[in-house]
Amino acid sequence: MEAITEYASYALPIATALVAVWLLVTVVRYVRADRGTRVSMRQALRVRWGWVRLARMAGLTVTDKTPGLLAQITASKDGPAPAPRVLTPRIKVKPDRFGVVVRAKTLPQVGLEEYQKAARFLADAWRCTRVSVLPDGPGRVVIRGVRSDPLTTPTAHRPTGHPPTDLTRWELGVDEYAAKVCVSLVNVPGVTVAGTPGAGKTSTVNKFVCDFAPSPAVQIATADGKVSRASEGDYADLVKRMFAFCGDDLDEANALFKRLVKLRRRRSSTIRDVLGVKNMWHVGPSPQWPLTVLIIDEAHILPRVQRQRRRDETFGRADGGERPAGGGPGQEGPQRRHPGDPHQPEDHR
């Protein structure tokens, strides 16, 4: 008994010290976190404290009528039967800038489908705009609760200046659940970046250039149909990293495209002799055999601008305006002829 008392005198200060260290680490993490993460940390605390009650109300518990081992040992023959146990899934909660990630275990009759049915109740209880439930391995699910919409939240990207470790994928950003979205570049002949004006198409392409520019295994050329010179457009700060650039001049664009076609043919004819394989992705890009990327921004403008310039040269318009509909210079529109005009076509008299 004296030994137990002696050990207890040491255990209490040790336990107190551990709790104090845990509280200190939690406070430091809270202070250093950004505003969104702080709100999510408070949200995660509410999720942990209210999980048992919420799980029972949402139907995510199971009643086990079989007594446990301890209840079977301590139960007496003449005494009352042990009360059934209510089993609640165990969870682990991790906060981030946009909400919480909850990893839960499944129980008999409480699987993936039951969690998905209860997702709308969890969203209301956790004050989330949306909640998704996905499998996380055998006997586990991951519940993603998003408090603020990642697609409408402004983001900032700061390039590291270091070559990317993986040249086979392009990290675009996050989806509606703040999960990373990547595009595979392996055996992909092209990628279309589409969207409404102001949606961030050019910013997405600029992010690609900034992320892959430090790698000598990636070479970039650009045809920007919005401008005549690189200094006028969105690639003014990036053109020094490109081995070729052209604006809205169709002849220059065709020359660039023909140059790249010749390069592709030459590489196709020599790839086995240089790399020993028929597909560059079997060995990956290298400074000796780089990944060549052609960026065509506003490609539909190139032929339209060229047609406009040819019309301007034909009619001698110095202001670059459109030719009036149905007539040449000085005409205001289609000219109607009087019936019987000798210059009127025979079939229109």
CB-neighbour burial class of residue 313 (10 A; exposed 0-12, middle 13-18, buried 19+): exposed
The pLDDT value given to residue 315? 60
| Residue type present at position 10 | Y
CA atoms lying within 13 Å on the CB side of residue 115: 26
38, with CB counted inside 10 A (0-12, 13-18, 19+), is: middle
**Pairing state between β 218-224 and 244-246:** parallel
User: In tens digits, what is the pLDDT along the chain, a chain of 349 residues?
Assistant: 566 666 667 777 888 888 888 888 888 888 888 888 999 999 999 999 999 999 999 999 999 887 777 766 776 676 677 778 899 999 999 999 999 999 999 999 999 999 999 999 999 999 999 999 999 999 999 999 998 888 888 888 888 889 999 999 999 888 889 888 999 999 998 888 888 888 888 888 999 999 999 999 999 999 988 888 888 888 898 999 999 999 888 888 889 999 999 999 999 999 999 999 999 999 999 999 999 999 998 766 656 655 666 666 666 554 544 444 444 333 333 343 444 444 444 443 3
Sole residue written with tokens 């199971």? 62
pLDDT at 220: 95
How many whole angstroms from its chain centre is CA 216? 25
Query: What token pair was written down for 324?
Result: 């009036």
Tokens describing residue 51 = 């999980």
Identity of residue 90: R
Query: What's the burial of 281, exposed, middle or buried (CB within 10 Å: 0-12/13-18/19+)?
Result: middle
Model-wide pTM > 0.85? no
pLDDT of residue 325: 41
d(CA 218, CA 310) in angstroms, rounded, equals 37
* Separation of CA 34 from chain center: 21
Q: Which of 140, 27, 24 is nearest to 92 (CA)?
A: 140
Return d(Cα 76, Cα 47) in angstroms, integer. 39
Predicted confidence at residue 310, as pLDDT, reads 64
